[in-house]
């Protein structure tokens, strides 16, 4: 494994030198049941959960990545529990814990749970017959990363149920933040509508199962916990003002639409058609990560780190090129210098050969100004454009955008604001 910093949108060449001695700390990352790196200590408990002590705040986060399994009597449109649910967790599990890899740069530990769960669920109850579901978790800690990366493999043998990963934050707050397509949104942990939806005869229960893109964060301004994900778009906040983040890993159902659900009485939302593939039987693999941090999510640069996690750098091995094919060892064509700004797209324009770079503010605060640098060998002109990739007029951008000698300055970027930059060769 190689840890490298590459500037901007570009590349850097690294040479492997035989018999060259490096100056790395040669102690292993995982020792005596504890991961240790530059940012935290993380211990795998006997039940397979993780306890983390973050170095800067000295905050201890126990009971992380506990699995919860419950019934799902809902359909393709809504989750709904049975009237008599059976909820199973790994709090009292006795998993098999094995070291898969242990070295000075990273360590990986495998945690294997076997849980007995009801084979099916209907609107009234869960079945008495049970089957084994295997949950294998691979926990990886890198010496120079402040994340704890998790890959979980579920061997699913039952229908109409849900499996979630729980992260008890231990933080006292009544709100949390989650990212959306272009920015971040603050949400309440408790929704008062949960208490009176039936009394007022609402169509269905309104409760905090939310969508998100790459992360959800709970913080009190001094310390916090972020859960990042790759393609797991649903979460719920449990336990009110001492929130637990519940990340949905798997949620199976056998019909497109059902009627007379607990949380959606009466009508059905779709056709009463069997959807056997939606039972999600078989082997499923998912990846997510979490970051304990000091300060709030903006100060911890969670937006940028979530981007780096979901769209990591790519390494390519190349042969020694000829002199006519040789590139410089290091190059970049666009650099953005602000930790609160993220790049969401780099693409060729739809109707010409120019390039669009789309950036956005990852926080819920206005950013006074941002500097960006382009490589003058590649591009001669930069201008702001709308989402149709049409350049904005000078009058529209005079107070917003300046470009001179390969450097651009963009000012007063509002929360969740999208900026389109059009780069031209001529």
Give mean pLDDT, residues 308-323. 79
pLDDT digit string, tens, across residues 211-236: 999 999 999 999 999 999 999 999 99
SS3 of 28-77: the string is CCEECCEEECCCEEEEECCCCCEEEEECCCCCEEEEEEEEEEEECCCCCC
The answer to whether the beta carbons of residues 49 and 233 sit under 8 Å apart is no
- Is CATH 2.70.98.30 the classification given to domain 24-310? yes
Inter-CA distances, 109 with 31, 51, 67, Å? 11, 14, 17
Q: Write down the pLDDT at residue 20.
A: 65
Query: What ranges do the domains of the chain cover?
Result: 24-310, 332-424
- pLDDT bin (cut points 50, 70, 90) of residue 25 is low
Distance CA 343, CA 348 (A): 15
Task: Quickly count: other Cβ atoms within 10 Å of residue 179's Cβ.
Answer: 25
Two tokens, residue 291: 């970051």
- pLDDT bin (cut points 50, 70, 90) of residue 322 is low
Q: Write down the pLDDT at residue 321.
A: 64
Q: Write down the pLDDT at residue 2.
A: 62
Judged against a pLDDT cut of 70, whether residue 324 lies above it is answered with no
Give mean pLDDT, residues 246-273. 89
pTM: 0.91
List the one residue out of 397, 420, 400, 396 whose CA is nearest residue 411: 400
The answer to whether the beta carbons of residues 228 and 310 sit under 8 Å apart is yes
Task: Choose the CATH number for 332-424 among 1.10.150.80, 2.60.40.2220, 2.40.30.30, 3.40.50.620.
Answer: 2.60.40.2220
Q: What percentage of the chain has pLDDT greater than the value 90?
A: 66
Residue whose pair of structure tokens reads 């941090």 in the numeric block: 293
Q: Write down the pLDDT at residue 360.
A: 92
Give mean pLDDT, residues 157-170. 97
Q: Write down the pLDDT at residue 1.
A: 58
Q: Write down the pLDDT at residue 176.
A: 96
List the one residue out of 154, 139, 149, 164 whose CA is nearest residue 67: 164
Using the Cα atoms of residue 146, residue 296, residue 239 and residue 234 in order, give the sign of their dihedral. Answer: negative
Using alpha carbons only, how large is the chain's radius of gyration in Å?
25
Classify burial at 284, counting beta carbons within 10 Å of its beta carbon; exposed 0-12, middle 13-18, buried 19 or more.
middle
Fold identical between 24-310 and 332-424? Answer: no
Two tokens, residue 14: 């690294």
Tell me the pLDDT of the chain averaged across its residues: 91
Residue whose pair of structure tokens reads 């039987």 in the numeric block: 281
DSSP 163-232: EEEEEE-----SEEEEEETTEEEEEES--THHHHTTTTT-SS----EEE-SSEEEEE-SSEEEEEEEES-
Give mean pLDDT, residues 410-416. 91
pLDDT digit string, tens, across residues 42-72: 999 999 999 999 999 899 999 999 999 999 9
- pLDDT bin (cut points 50, 70, 90) of residue 128 is very high
Give mean pLDDT, residues 28-43. 94
pLDDT digit string, tens, across residues 112-125: 999 999 999 999 99
């Amino acid at each position: 494994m190689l840890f490298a910093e590459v500037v901007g949108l570009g590349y850097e060449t690294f040479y492997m030198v035989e018999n060259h001695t490096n100056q790395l700390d040669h102690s292993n990352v995982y020792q005596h049941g504890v991961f240790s790196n530059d940012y935290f200590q993380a211990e795998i408990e006997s039940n397979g959960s993780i306890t983390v002590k973050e170095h800067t705040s000295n905050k201890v986060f126990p009971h992380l990545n506990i699995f919860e399994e419950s019934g799902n009597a809902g359909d393709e449109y809504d989750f709904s529990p049975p009237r008599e649910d059976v909820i199973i967790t790994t709090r009292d599990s006795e998993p098999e814990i094995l070291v898969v890899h242990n070295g000075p740069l990273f360590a990986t530990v495998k945690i294997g749970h076997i849980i007995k769960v009801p084979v099916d669920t209907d609107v009234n109850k869960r079945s008495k017959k049970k089957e084994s579901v295997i949950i294998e978790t691979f926990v990886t800690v890198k010496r120079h990363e402040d994340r704890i990366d998790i890959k979980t493999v579920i061997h699913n043998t039952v229908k109409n149920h849900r499996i979630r990963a729980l992260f008890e934050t231990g933080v006292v707050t009544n709100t949390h933040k989650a990212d959306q397509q272009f920015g971040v949104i603050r949400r309440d942990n408790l929704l008062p509508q949960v208490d009176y939806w039936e009394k007022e005869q609402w169509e269905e229960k309104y409760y905090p199962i939310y969508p998100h893109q790459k992360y959800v964060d709970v913080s009190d301004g001094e310390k916090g916990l972020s859960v990042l994900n790759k393609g797991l778009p649903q979460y719920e906040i449990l336990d009110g003002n001492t929130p637990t983040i519940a990340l949905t890993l798997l949620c199976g159902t056998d019909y497109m639409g059902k009627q007379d659900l607990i949380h959606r009485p009466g009508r059905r939302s779709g056709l009463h058609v069997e959807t056997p593939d939606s039972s999600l039987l078989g082997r499923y693999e998912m990846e997510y990560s979490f970051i304990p941090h000091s300060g709030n999510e903006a100060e911890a640069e969670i937006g940028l780190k979530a981007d780096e996690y979901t769209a990591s750098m790519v390494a390519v091995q190349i042969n020694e090129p000829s002199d006519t094919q040789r590139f410089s060892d290091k190059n970049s064509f666009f650099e953005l210098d602000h930790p609160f700004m993220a790049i969401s797209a780099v693409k060729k324009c739809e109707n010409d050969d120019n390039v669009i770079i789309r950036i956005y503010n990852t926080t819920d605060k206005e950013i006074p100004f941002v500097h960006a640098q382009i490589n003058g060998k590649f591009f001669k002109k930069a201008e702001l454009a709308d989402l149709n990739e049409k350049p904005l007029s000078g009058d529209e951008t005079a107070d917003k955008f300046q470009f001179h000698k390969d450097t651009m300055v963009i000012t007063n970027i509002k929360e969740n604001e999208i900026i389109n930059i059009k780069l031209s060769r001529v």
